[in-house]
Amino acid sequence: MGNLRNAELLKKNTLLYVEDEEDSREGLGEILRYKVKELYLAENGRMGLDLYDKHRPDIVITDIAMPVLDGLEMTRRIKLINRNAQVIIITAHGQGENFDEASDLGVVEFVLKPIVIDDLFRAIDKCIDRLESKQQDSGTFPGAF
């Protein structure tokens, strides 16, 4: 089931997965739960934003179309908290207006539904690479005091 190039590094990071479809959230959550230091799950953008604000996870994976607060608006608000937040957007739709808006927000990657786990893992690897690069630039590492 797919390979993460940065699997060992991912185990040191926290991840927030925001998805309104319960089966998708729980299914992918089960896959991710054992690959990260801590996994947070939310069923809409409002809950996702609250969890982000409370826990500041290293990587955010979010659906776009959700009730209460959609993934793009949640991402916009997360970027106000941390402009370097690593965000992956999952969508059932191809690249269009949402793609342009998400790119402007600094979203790392789009992954299309139905999710191909290798595509998601490639996007996660890209986030890990960016996190590692920023940590090396700043001289800080996860868990450093």
Picking from 76, 69, 113, 70, the residue whose alpha carbon sits closest to that of residue 91 is 113
- The proportion of the chain whose per-residue pLDDT surpasses 90, expressed as a percent, equals 68
Mean pLDDT for the chain overall: 88
> Is the predicted pLDDT of residue 115 greater than 80, yes or no?
yes
pLDDT in tens, 120-133: 999 999 999 999 98
Give the sign of the dihedral formed by CA 12, CA 61, CA 38, CA 34. Answer: negative
Q: Which pTM value belongs to this model?
A: 0.89
Predicted local distance difference test score (pLDDT) of residue 107: 84
Picking from 34, 106, 139, 130, the residue whose alpha carbon sits closest to that of residue 15 is 34
pLDDT in tens, 1-31: 567 888 999 999 999 999 999 999 999 999 9
The C-alpha atoms of residue 79 and residue 87 are separated, in whole angstroms, by 9
Structure tokens at 81: 């908290």
SS3 106: coil
Domains of the chain with CATH codes? 7-136 (3.40.50.2300)
End-to-end, the C-alpha distance of the chain in Å comes to 35
Structure tokens at 88: 């992956």
CA distances from 11 to 42, 103, 137 (A): 20, 27, 21
Overall average pLDDT of the 92-105 stretch: 70
pLDDT in tens, 58-74: 999 999 999 999 999 99
